[in-house]
Amino acid sequence: MTLVTSFLPRSKLHNFLHPDATVSLQYEIRARVFLGKSPTARGYHETILADSRLFVFGGFNGYTSFDDIYIVDLAAGAFLPQVTSFTMGSAA
């Protein structure tokens, strides 16, 4: 199941489920500490729930537009480390 959440101007929250989703969503509110480096506060981002991971894409904080990706493993309670740059060598 995949849940896609989009935050748009005027605080409109749009949620839509992928057509093959056949289970109902259940949640509980509880305080939890997540390990790892969390994203800065932002709005206008995209969030996708896939299995037990949240993928957070981009956003805007009123001053800066973000083009980053954060992955939160909900089962482990941790933000996963991200590869921010890499180089590829030429084939020998």
Q: What is the pLDDT of residue 92?
A: 59
Q: What is the DSSP letter of 33?
A: P
For Cα atoms 38, 68, 5, give the angle at the middle one, nearest 5 degrees: 80
Convert the pLDDT of each residue in 25-34 to its tens digit: 666 666 778 8
Mean pLDDT of the chain: 75
Rg (CA), the chain: 16
Cβ 8 vs Cβ 44: under 8 Å: yes
| Predicted TM-score of the model (pTM) | 0.58
**pLDDT above 50 for 44:** yes
Q: What is the pLDDT of residue 10?
A: 40
Between residues 91 and 52, which one has the greater pLDDT?
A: 52
Q: How confident is the model at residue 2 (pLDDT cuts 50, 70, 90)?
A: very low
Q: How confident is the model at residue 22 (pLDDT cuts 50, 70, 90)?
A: low
Between residues 7 and 73, which one has the greater pLDDT?
A: 73
